[in-house]
Structure 1
Amino acid sequence: MIHNIIKDKPTRLFIILGGFFIANAILAEVIGVKIFSLEETFGFPDATFSLLGEEGLSFDLTVGVLPWPIVFIMTDIVNEYYGVRGVRFLSVLTAGLIAFAFVVFYFSIRTAPAEWWRLSQDKNGVPDMQAAYTQILGQGMNIIVASLTAFLIGQLTDATVFRQIKKLTGEKRIWMRATVSTLFSQFVDTVVVSYIYLYFALGFSFPRVTAIAIVGYTYKFAIAILCTPFIYLIHGMIEKYLGHKQAADMKKAALELQPGTS
């Protein structure tokens, strides 16, 4: 049985795409506790500016934004060949796995540390490994509800917009349905996570949250445009792997199959 599953190209492709989708989504959640300076990373001074009355803004972003473009590329590719139901299945599965991961983090943090391990990295500038472990893996729990809500809403927005554009354009304009759907979903994702976490949970002012969201979305907008060539590259690789006839049949079925039907 397993041999037949693995030998089936569409099934194997879905597993590969789903693997990249899930892995990068979980990685983004785990590494996202770090905030980095985009300008300084590329050797430029901070671009300090004001927006909506908020001063001292710059492109300080969560490291979690780095693997997210892969998630959105995978979303569009899965939508292209497996439809909205494929995206919805992976999104719900991924959200469940992320929640499971943070439950594991929660209990792992609360295990009693061995004393020699807790002090083992003092010579490297980490005087308390348990505190460092808790800070890195535990900090993300403050944002998990906002992040998962934004993720699910953003993914469903991406899939829906992608589908509607494809219904209008057919097989043409891959760049349009991939880029526009990502821009919409990134906007929704940014707004939802920013206001749930920063405004409602942390009590930031509305102008400050809005300014931060605009800065974050500006970065995501630029990345979405830059990722467009990769959509064509991956499409070409999949077409070669599946064969043009099978690929065309899958795309037709994905477009015709309504969400909720089998």
Structure 2
Amino acid sequence: MIHNIIKDKPTRLFIILGGFFIANAIIAEVIGVKIFSLEGTLGMEKANFTLLGESGLAFDLSVGVLPWPIVFIMTDIINEYYGLKGVRFLSIITAGLIAFAFVLFYLAIHTAPAGWWQLSQEKNGVPDMQAAYHQILGQGMNIIIASLTAFLIGQLTDATVFRTIKRVTGENRIWMRATVSTLFSQFIDTIVVSYIYLYFSLGFSFPRVTAIAMVGYSYKFTIAVLCTPLIYLIHGMIERYLGHEQAANMKKAALGMQKLS
């Protein structure tokens, strides 16, 4: 039984796509506590611009934005071949696993540290490993509700917009449904996480939160457009892997046009 399941190409493909989807979502949550300077990373001067009356703004972003494009690409590919139910299924599982991971982080943080370990990195500039451990893994606890809410709303928005466009365009204009759905979902994701965390939790002013969200979204907008060729590359690889006939049947079934045999 298990051998037949593993040999089934659509099943293996779903596991592979789902694995990348889940892994990148969890990685983004864990590493996202670091804020990096995009300009500094690219060797450019800090932007230092004013937006909505908020001065001193720059492209200071969470490193969690690095793996998120892969999540949204996987969302579109999964939607293409497995439909809205496939995306919803993986999104719910991923949200549950992220919550589970943070529960384990909480428990790990609150275990009593061994004395020698706590002081083991003094020579490397880390005088208290327990404090460092708590700061890195525990900081994400503050935004877990905002992040999970934004993730679920964003994913369902992406899947719904993608499906709606595909019903109109059919098999044509992959770039349109992939890019537009990602732009919509990234916008929702950015707005939700920014206002829940920065406005309601940290008490930032409405104009400042809006300005920060606009800066973050401009980066995501650019990345979404640049990732469009990658959608075609992955799509072509899957077509060759499944075979055009099986791929066509799966895409029709994903739209509810026919049932897979």
Mark yes or no: TM-score above 0.5: yes
Partner of 2:231: 231
In 2: Cα distance, 1:123 partner to 1:143 partner: 32
SS in 1 for 2:255: helix
In 1: Cα distance, 2:221 partner to 2:147 partner: 19
Q: CA deviation at 1:167?
A: 0.2
Partner of 1:180: 180
After superposition, what is the alpha-carbon deviation per residue over 1:22-45, rounded to whole angstroms, capped at 9, x for unaligned?
000000000000000000001001
In 2: Cα distance, 1:16 partner to 1:77 partner: 11
Q: CA deviation at 1:256?
A: 1.3
SS in 1 for 2:47: coil
Q: How many residues align?
A: 258
TM-score, with length taken from structure 1:
0.98
Partner of 1:130: 130
Aligned ranges for residues 70-219 of structure 1 at < 5 Å?
Answer: 70-219=70-219
Q: CA deviation at 1:257?
A: 6.3
In 1: Cα distance, 2:143 partner to 2:257 partner: 35
After superposition, what is the alpha-carbon deviation per residue over 1:154-207, rounded to whole angstroms, capped at 9, x for unaligned?
000000000000000000000000000000000000000000000001000000
Structure 1 residue identity aligned to 2:145: V
After superposition, what is the alpha-carbon deviation per residue over 1:78-132, rounded to whole angstroms, capped at 9, x for unaligned?
0000000000000000000000000000000000000000000000000000000
Structure 2 residue identity aligned to 1:106: Y
Runs of 4+ in 1 over 2 A off after TM superposition: none
In 1: Cα distance, 2:36 partner to 2:12 partner: 36
Aligned ranges for residues 2-81 of structure 1 at < 5 Å?
Answer: 2-81=2-81
What runs of 5+ residues in structure 2 fail to find an aligned partner? none
In 2: Cα distance, 1:99 partner to 1:255 partner: 31
Structure 1 residue identity aligned to 2:149: T
SS in 1 for 2:56: strand
SS in 1 for 2:36: strand
TM-score, with length taken from structure 2:
0.98
What runs of 5+ residues in structure 1 fail to find an aligned partner? none
CA RMSD of aligned residues (A): 0.8
In 1: Cα distance, 2:212 partner to 2:5 partner: 46
In 2: Cα distance, 1:66 partner to 1:235 partner: 21
Same amino acid, percent of matched pairs: 84
Partner of 1:251: 251
